[in-house]
Amino acid sequence: MPIIAVVGPTASGKTRRAVELARALGGEIISADSRQVYRGMDLGTGKDIAEYGDVPYHLIDICPAGTKYNLYEYLRDARAAVADISGRGLRPIICGGTGLYVESLLKGMYLPEVPENPALRASLRGKSLEELTGILAGMKTLHNVTDVDSPQRAIRAIEIQTFYADHPDQARMATSPEPLPAAVVGVDIPRDERRRRITLRLDQRLQEGMVAEVERLLAGGVGADDLIYYGLEYKYLTLYATGRITYQQMHDELETAIHQFAKRQMTWFRGMERRGIPIHWLPYDLPSEEFVAAVTTLLHKQQ
């Protein structure tokens, strides 16, 4: 039974579409969002839990804010969820906008558990992001900027590549994937409509208490730097809550950052298609019955 993956940029309505499919086809949803795993980070990550209704979901609220969930953990947990759902005769439905998570899972990527290397980290401490990027580029081909969008991520990526060099058997497993049979559906939303929705949703979530959410996290002991690490809403709201920028700066810079993020998501999905994962794009405003019928037809073609 092929699994279904529902992808698309932020504010495209992915969750609602995944819920429609789960209800119609007897499925459960596995989130593919790198930040919805954290408890207490609700408005800023757009969990929209009410949208799920009675549809079971997985990999949301599974670890505390302040920790750093990673691709290794996601692949481990998502595979377990796929096996659990399939084992009960239901259909797993992957839903999310973190393209790295979706693509890695569908391609059957395996990542060994790489322990921290204190000596290596100490030797890299203090190096600039440019220097770290150069070191990493000498160890692997950089297909995207995910590994080098901060010094912490770059150091971790170097740590992983060093582990692979020292453990070639683990590296071979990591480069011999077993793809999952899947029907991948994209929610196709015009750029102007996407931008309108992003702006509207940002204003709504600010009115609903997104600033207060960040203040609660800070008051609860989550470090400001840890929240900034999560980027987007948590970066700019934390900068505002700690007095480093004004409210208007926060709003304007965050709005711009979310628009840029949505553009990067679409760039990733187009790259997925070039890398061999076909995405069947359906209009964002397609009536529910027609959306479900189109996906059902797609599934029949793949069986």
Digit-coded pLDDT (tens) for 75-114: 999 999 999 999 999 999 999 999 999 999 999 987 778 8
Which residues is 4 bridged to in the sheet?
93, 183
Cα angle value 263/184/11 (rounded, 5°):
35
Give the count of alpha carbons within 13 A of 170, CB side only.
13
- Residue the block writes with tokens 């698309």: 8
Digit-coded pLDDT (tens) for 52-65: 999 999 999 999 99
The per-residue pLDDT for 112 is 77
With contact defined as beta carbons under 8 Å apart, do 29 and 55 qualify?
yes
The per-residue pLDDT for 206 is 98
